[in-house]
Chains A and B, each alone.
Chain A
Amino acid sequence: MNMVKNSSLIQMKGVTKEYIPRKWFFSKDQSRVVALNEVDLSIKKGEIFGLVGQSGSGKTTLGRLLVRLEEPTSGSISLKGSLINTLKGPSLKDFRSKVQMIFQDPYQSLNPHLSIAQTIGEPLVVQGIGNTRQRRSKVLHTLEIVGLSPGQDFYDRYPHQLSGGQRQRVAIARAIVLEPEFIVADEPTSMLDATIAIQLFTLLLQIRETFNMTILFITHNLAAANYLCDRIGVIHEGCIVEVNTAKKIIGDPVHPYTKKLIRVQPCFDFNRG
């Protein structure tokens, strides 16, 4: 891991994302929302990078750009040196097998009509990997990895038969089943209680170790980012204001906004119930 630690996996250069509110006949585009403003960021291979900022600062937008759920208004994003802005067809599909996302709300991110097996197996089916039997064993194996064990017990269940924490594990399983190189985790524990959150953090760390994955961990919680991340970036109103190792950000913040963020952060606001 150390060998490759310094090469960057994701590179964002001057990335801006504007949302133009739906145009009507009378309103000319006076009010456009700038969600990200000239963002430069690089994420190193094998690290867990924390993106911290308050609500509405553009964290989710940045994550969605990286998995190409959204296109940047301007600027370039590259994965391992090759641009992802312009990917199409087979090369886009190939990119999709390398980059995955874990969503915030486990109650919204699983299709209620698909079984756990179908949900986790979908990326394999879509990417045309393995035959039915191989996919089955891969899904069972992945269930074990995310701590839904024994896998057979969960294989044929439906989301409504699982707790929130278990659902999020399923979502994590879906994200890692292709063994991607990069995962965007958008506030994966903000809907869950503190004990579950800690378990999921441990799971993410374990996944990073096993697969040498790079993770972008999005959160509004500095304590969580400190616990989990190697480096932290602080985002404020669409601008990255400070990037440093977790230790430095917490111990020796430079930017006034970071200082403010640390001041207002209750030590462990995990357990506010």
Chain B
Amino acid sequence: MPIWIRGLPIDVRGRTKGVFMLKNHYVQRFLQSWKIFIENPLGKTGVIILFVFMVMALASFVVPHINPMYDPMIGIDPNISISTGPSLTHWLGTDNVGRDLFAQLLEGAKVAFIVGLSSAFFSIVLGMVIGMISGYAGGTLDTFLMRTADIIMVLPSLVILLILSSLFGQFNIWIIVFIIAIMRWPAVSRVIRSQTLSLKHRPFIEASKVAGASHLRIIFRHIMPNVLPLAFLYMTFRVTSAILVEAALSFLGFGDPSQVSWGMMLQWVWKSGNMFHAPYWLLPPGISISLLTLAFYLLGRAMDEVLDPRLRKEGRA
């Protein structure tokens, strides 16, 4: 038996067992990152704002059950037929048909999360897969995919959405989510591609190739875990832009009319002619849009610093 086994340091011979070690690895890494993250002033602010909106979004599920007139879409206060200011029964007041504005604001938070997160998620997945394939394959496929990305990247997504919806009528919210995702993958795929380029000649990839691994296996088993953190970083920025696009679209009157959202509230206050004499109606959705997008932006910046130690040091100094 080789003698050097006895020479191993103590910690190496520790008795930690399988499952525990595995969990430990991820939990430890997560906790470490989380600590840096939450100590970062940007991250902390972002998390607090986000938390408030999350509570609002959750509350939107409860409010209609308190009283049916608090349903954001179809709940109408029978005593009110014009827009009224804040009162005890309607904290933010009502719109011109007697619907509760606070309930609509809560519903808007929920929709913003759904639209923002899901379209960001789709665009990240799409961008990541295309970026990895493009970088790994190289050659003509790479050129083709990246030219496509360039073309889509320079298209103004809001204008495209406006053209599409004026051609096909008003879209429902999921189609909007989907189109935003399609419009927003190129930036991600560029970043993931360049990361893939730097990974694909690393010895651990070549070792896997020498063992006979297929291209798909190399891409998804070896490259993906290494680019995933970066993809998630980009996801937070995508959320911001998705929320803004949806809000703009709704405000301009091309949103999903059967779905309350902050942009839709702004559209209604405009359309009903209350823009300039109902600040209780105009301001809350406007401020909410700004704050929520700000929160995601701050999260992204903070995550940037967690992922890139160089930035972290600069930020601290």
A152 touches B210 (CB 8 A): no
Q: Scan B1-34; emit 1 where CB is below 8 A from any A CB, else 0.
A: 0101100110011111111011001000000000
B5 touches A126 (CB 8 A): no
A113 touches B226 (CB 8 A): yes
On chain B, the number of residues with a Cβ less than 8 Å from chain A's Cβ atoms is 33
On chain A, the number of residues with a Cβ less than 8 Å from chain B's Cβ atoms is 42
Q: Which A residues from 74 to 123 make CB contacts under 8 A with B?
A: 92-93, 96-97, 99-101, 103-105, 108-115, 122-123
From A114, A126, A155, give the contact of B18 (CB < 8 A): A155
B212 touches A111 (CB 8 A): no
Is B203 in the interface zone, CB < 8 Å from A? yes
Is B209 in the interface zone, CB < 8 Å from A? yes
Whole-angstrom distance from the CB of B129 to the nearest CB of chain A? 18
Is A7 in the interface zone, CB < 8 Å from B? no
Is B65 in the interface zone, CB < 8 Å from A? no
Residues from chain A with a CB closer than 8 A to the CB of B19 are 156
Is B202 in the interface zone, CB < 8 Å from A? yes
B14 touches A111 (CB 8 A): no
From B12, B202, B207, B225, give the contact of A174 (CB < 8 A): B207
Whole-angstrom distance from the CB of A199 to the nearest CB of chain B? 5
Q: Scan A55-71; emit 1 where CB is below 8 A from any B CB, else 0.
A: 00000000000010100
Whole-angstrom distance from the CB of B185 to the nearest CB of chain A? 23
Is A244 in the interface zone, CB < 8 Å from B? no
From A67, A105, A162, give the contact of B203 (CB < 8 A): A105
Is B288 in the interface zone, CB < 8 Å from A? no
From A112, A122, A127, give the contact of B208 (CB < 8 A): A122
Is B213 in the interface zone, CB < 8 Å from A? yes
Is A178 in the interface zone, CB < 8 Å from B? yes
A109 touches B203 (CB 8 A): yes
Residues from chain A with a CB closer than 8 A to the CB of B9 are 163
A108 touches B204 (CB 8 A): yes
Q: Which B residues from 151 to 175 make CB contacts under 8 A with A?
A: none
A123 touches B211 (CB 8 A): yes
Complex: chain A residue closest to B228, CB-CB:
A113
B12 touches A122 (CB 8 A): no
Whole-angstrom distance from the CB of A183 to the nearest CB of chain B? 10
* Given contact pairs A147-B2, A157-B21, A206-B2, A67 touches B210 in the complex (Cβ within 8 A): yes
Q: Scan A238-256; emit 1 where CB is below 8 A from any B CB, else 0.
A: 0000000000000000000
Is A202 in the interface zone, CB < 8 Å from B? yes
Residues from chain A with a CB closer than 8 A to the CB of B202 are 108
Complex: chain B residue closest to A99, CB-CB:
B210
Is B206 in the interface zone, CB < 8 Å from A? yes
Residues from chain B with a CB closer than 8 A to the CB of A270 are none
Is A153 in the interface zone, CB < 8 Å from B? yes
Is A6 in the interface zone, CB < 8 Å from B? no
Is B147 in the interface zone, CB < 8 Å from A? no
A103 touches B17 (CB 8 A): no
Is B217 in the interface zone, CB < 8 Å from A? yes
In the bound complex, what is the Cα–Cα distance between A103 and B207 (angstroms)? 8
In the bound complex, what is the Cα–Cα distance between A105 and B17 (angstroms)? 28
A111 touches B225 (CB 8 A): yes
Q: Which A residues from 180 to 233 make CB contacts under 8 A with B?
A: 199, 202-203, 206
Q: Scan B172-185; emit 1 where CB is below 8 A from any A CB, else 0.
A: 00000000000000
Complex: chain A residue closest to B21, CB-CB:
A156
Is B200 in the interface zone, CB < 8 Å from A? no
A153 touches B203 (CB 8 A): no
A69 touches B204 (CB 8 A): no
By Cβ-Cβ distance, the 5 closest A-B pairs, closest first, are A96-B212, A113-B225, A123-B211, A109-B203, A103-B203
- 6 sampled A-B residue pairs with Cβ under 8 A: A69-B209, A109-B204, A109-B207, A153-B13, A163-B9, A199-B4
Residues of A within 8 A of B (CB): 67, 69, 92-93, 96-97, 99-101, 103-105, 108-115, 122-123, 126-127, 147, 149, 152-153, 155-158, 162-163, 166, 171, 174, 178, 199, 202-203, 206
Residues of B within 8 A of A (CB): 2, 4-5, 8-9, 12-19, 21-22, 25, 202-204, 206-214, 217, 221-222, 225-226
Given contacts A69-B210, A92-B212, A96-B210, 7 further A-B contacts (CB under 8 A): A93-B212, A99-B210, A123-B211, A147-B2, A153-B12, A199-B4, A202-B2
